[in-house]
Structures are given as C-alpha cells and as structure tokens.
Amino acid sequence: MSSICNCRTSAQVVTMSPGRVKVLCERIMSRGYEPRVARLMENVKAKVRAQPGFISIDTYAQVNDHTKYVVFSEWESKKDFDTWLASETFQECTKQINELLDVPGLHMRIFKAPKDDVFLL
C-alpha cells in the first residue's frame, strides 16, 4: 500500500488521558465524487460531535491525490468509540459513504498513549 500522506516530520507533544483513544480512518473515494463526499463528511462530523465521549475530529486529503482521505478522531474511551460504531447513525452514514468509495468498508486503526513516555522520530 502506498503512503497515505506526504508529510514532513515534526515534533509535537500530545497529552492524552490514559483511557483516551485516537482513531485513524482511511477512505479512498471514486474520482468525480469529491464534492458529494465532502458534503456527506460534513454531515457525519455534525452527528459524531453529538456522541457521548467524542472529543475531536480532523480530516485530511493526501497532497498529491485528493481522492485519498484520512480522518483522525479522538474519544474519551474505546468503549465510547465502539458505541458510536454500533449506532444506527454510524451505520447509515457508512452505507452512504461506501457507495462513493473505490475501496468500500471501514479501514481504521485505534491508538492509545503508551504507558511509558516514548519519543519517536
């Protein structure tokens, strides 16, 4: 799989509570559907912001291929995120978005802060 983003390395201090998780979700949309997907994603963001345990969400497009997106979200706990995944709202949003993707389905990774301080470049 090719790199999802072209990014420069930067050092950033991130403080997370022990139970918090960050979720990375990758999406590759079909060409020509970019405006429609953007509208759907704004709708999803509005709905996810109302979910218990939700903290933040950021969406990025790959620099050299605007059909490839990553979405980063942060949750108070994995349980809160799992509750969102099981919700009817999430299922409906996913169904609508999958119709516009080259690679349908949910491609995600869940991260939590390590128990010990780790500094990686």
| pLDDT tens digits for range 75-96 | 999 999 999 999 999 999 889 8
This prediction's pTM? 0.76
**Residue 119 belongs to a domain:** no
pLDDT of residue 47: 93
Neighbouring CB atoms inside 10 A of 48's CB total: 19
Considering the chain, what is the average pLDDT of its residues? 82
Give pLDDT tens digits for 16-75.
566 999 999 998 888 888 788 888 888 889 999 999 999 999 999 899 988 888 999 999
User: Which segments of 1-121 are extended strands (E)?
Assistant: 21-28, 54-62, 65-75, 107-112
What is the total count of domains within the chain? Answer: 1
Range of the domain at 26: 21-112
**Residue 77 belongs to a domain:** yes
